[in-house]
Structure 1
Amino acid sequence: MTGPTVGTLRVDGATLHYEVRGHGPLLLLIPGGTGGAAAVAGLAEALATEWTVATYDPRGMSRSTLDDPGAEQTVAEHADDAFRLLELLSPGEPARVFGASSGAVAALHLLTTRPERVALLVAHEPPVVEVLPDAAEHRALLARVRDTLHAQGLMPAMAVFAAGLRKAGDTAGPPAGVTLPPQAAARAERTMAGLPFFVGRIVPAFMSYVPDLHRLEALSGRLLLAAGEDSRGELPYRPAALLAERFGTGLLHFPGGHTGLTTRPAEFAELLRRTLRPHGSGRPAPAGPAGASR
């Protein structure tokens, strides 16, 4: 397959780097974390046989530069960036959208503010912890991360953050048996470069975001909450599970954990492919054993 078509888009306060692959209806992939478009490149390539797949580096990440490098970040701005890309690449036509982690938070805001542009949203583990009954504990976690970052630096702050995401009883370290594909391992340098921005500005803004639950419930016919099969009990899993139960939509389980799209890319892509295909009334096709469940 030939490489992606690469472009830039001027938005308010930033210049976005975006990539487009394939042909067909538009599918927008909104990455989370620090990997940007490179983190979902394998997923984009696998899906480009059926869709025009667009992805991008979120503002401030990798090749998407901020006019003011010190600017604070907001979910609303990031969601508007996604909207501007939809307007550029699929004017007047609703698109399918997949968002992961912080990208899923931006995607939820996109759905509530620009529902006419979203045909279907698959939101994988959006860490909207403010919807949880123990939200106060997670506000305290964010405060500890912030204080540790200022007092001790990046890696101690990352250790505090990672500990707060794990389920009770888990110990530090990667899951047993997980080996990153070579292309994922090659992204390590870029990922590390983006960590200060991510921990200092994305994490506090996105994990304190309060979604409009009444609006999301009204739009739940075009929303699928998703989580990793191996993420059960971890903090990013819990908001997706809670919202899926509240909206009565079922929770779609993908292979792997929070980063399953990079650790299990082929299986992840195949389930997402089946999910995105039109089926019946517009809801996704049944996903089989790994599919929707409570």
Structure 2
Amino acid sequence: MKTSTLPVPGARLYYEAHGSGPVLLLIAGGNGDAAGFTGMARLLAGRYTVVAYDPRGNSRSELTEPPGTQRIETHADDAHLLLKEVAGEPAYVFGSSSGALVGLDLITRHPGQVRALVAHEPPAVTVLPDRDHWLAFLDGVRDTYMSRGVDAAVAEFSGALGQRPVMEPQGELPPGVREIVARIRRNFDFFFAHEVTSFPRYEPDLPALRTAPVVLGGGLESRDQMPYQATAELATRLGTEVLDFPGDHVGYIPHAAAFAERLHEVLTRN
């Protein structure tokens, strides 16, 4: 694995590259970073140059200016500049959660850089029939974070989305794992302070996406959760379907081998 950093306007992106072959860019969402893709990246490294990075403000991608309100478009510009750095031809892209929204904006505004995009459970709140309910709820989560702190916000957020709450790890962890867990938990502060109300207000460019090489994916175990439901509604708007992937919203972590094979299968038929 090779690691490096890339200066971009307002931040310095940390990224990792595994393997060789056509570039496959992995975009994390929420409080995630490149470490969440390590298992899958190692498995795919014999087929692709797998590039994963920490989104600006998360983990090792430090900001060089005040954060302000984060926008999907700014994060898509980061992905665009990273692809300019690491890929000499159109790349494959996989985005998870809000990272999938970043991928949708990337392929909309920089279509020549993307050979195919797999957007896994993009929480496209603005296409939902009950969008106002969810936007109000997420505004409330930020209020909870500001008044009661990160643990209360995580519990409220995870509970309403039907996802497993983030728990403190049990037992003694290896030092490297402890460091990863600690920084992922710290990233929740950035997410709730600067992203949780702005990211869901992103409006996908539906006419552009209808002609783009986009595959929408969803977890077999998360069909009753809002991000999957938003993905299904987006698929209806685009005249396509949601392809099944192993596990839930972050199935690529506990089911890395099966998820990697499914991703490769989907990419190579597009």
TM-score norm. by structure 1 comes to 0.85
AA partner of residue 136 (structure 2): A
Residue aligning to 2:194? 201
AA partner of residue 43 (structure 1): M
Residue aligning to 2:170? none
User: Equivalents in 1 of 2:47, 2:105: separation in Å?
Assistant: 26
Residue aligning to 1:131? 127
2:186 alignment partner, SS class: helix
Residue aligning to 2:15? 18
**Offset of residue 163 of structure 1:** 2.3
1:98 alignment partner, SS class: strand
Residue aligning to 2:260? 269
User: Equivalents in 2 of 1:35, 1:75: separation in Å?
Assistant: 15
Deviates most, 237-246 or 13-22: 237-246
Note if contact 1:128-1:239 (Cα within 8 Å) is conserved in structure 2.
yes
The change in CA–CA distance for 1:236 and 1:250 in structure 2 (over 3 A counts) is same
AA partner of residue 24 (structure 1): G
Which of 230, 237, 241 is the equivalent residue of 1:246?
237
2:203 alignment partner, SS class: coil
User: Equivalents in 2 of 1:263, 1:244: separation in Å?
Assistant: 26
2:240 alignment partner, SS class: coil
Note if contact 2:26-2:52 (Cα within 8 Å) is conserved in structure 1.
yes
The answer to whether 1:117 aligns with 2:113 is: yes
2:253 alignment partner, SS class: helix
Note if contact 2:219-2:246 (Cα within 8 Å) is conserved in structure 1.
yes
The answer to whether 1:28 aligns with 2:25 is: yes
Note if contact 1:35-1:190 (Cα within 8 Å) is conserved in structure 2.
no
User: Equivalents in 1 of 2:190, 2:7: separation in Å?
Assistant: 20
The change in CA–CA distance for 1:267 and 1:234 in structure 2 (over 3 A counts) is same
User: Equivalents in 2 of 1:164, 1:200: separation in Å?
Assistant: 19
**Offset of residue 173 of structure 1:** 5.3
User: Equivalents in 2 of 1:273, 1:44: separation in Å?
Assistant: 11
AA partner of residue 193 (structure 1): R
Which of 71, 77, 81 is the equivalent residue of 2:78?
81
**Offset of residue 196 of structure 1:** 0.4
Note if contact 1:39-1:184 (Cα within 8 Å) is conserved in structure 2.
no
**Offset of residue 111 of structure 1:** 0.7
Note if contact 1:28-1:98 (Cα within 8 Å) is conserved in structure 2.
yes
Note if contact 1:144-1:160 (Cα within 8 Å) is conserved in structure 2.
no
**Offset of residue 146 of structure 1:** 1.6
Structure 2, unpaired ranges of 5+: 167-173
TM-score norm. by structure 2 comes to 0.92
2:138 alignment partner, SS class: helix
1:44 alignment partner, SS class: helix
User: Equivalents in 2 of 1:183, 1:229: separation in Å?
Assistant: 33
**Offset of residue 164 of structure 1:** 2.2
User: Equivalents in 2 of 1:147, 1:205: separation in Å?
Assistant: 14
User: Equivalents in 1 of 2:90, 2:210: separation in Å?
Assistant: 19
How many pairs were matched up?
263
Note if contact 1:184-1:262 (Cα within 8 Å) is conserved in structure 2.
no
**Offset of residue 78 of structure 1:** 0.3
User: Equivalents in 1 of 2:66, 2:252: separation in Å?
Assistant: 29
The answer to whether 1:103 aligns with 2:99 is: yes
AA partner of residue 261 (structure 1): Y
What is the identity percentage for the equivalent residue pairs of Structure 1 and Structure 2? Answer: 45
Note if contact 2:206-2:237 (Cα within 8 Å) is conserved in structure 1.
no
Residues 126-159 of structure 1, C-alpha deviations (whole Å, 9 max, x = no match): 1111110110100110121121112211111122
Residues 183-222 of structure 1, C-alpha deviations (whole Å, 9 max, x = no match): 9965322211111001221222211111111211132xx0
1:65 alignment partner, SS class: coil
1:148 alignment partner, SS class: helix
Q: Which has the higher contact order (CA 8 A, sep 6+)?
A: 2
Residue aligning to 1:290? none
Residues 49-95 of structure 1, C-alpha deviations (whole Å, 9 max, x = no match): 0011111000000000001244321111100100001111113x111
Residue aligning to 1:179? none
AA partner of residue 163 (structure 1): G
AA partner of residue 71 (structure 1): G
AA partner of residue 35 (structure 1): G
**Offset of residue 22 of structure 1:** 0.7
AA partner of residue 58 (structure 1): P
Which of 33, 54, 61 is the equivalent residue of 2:58?
61
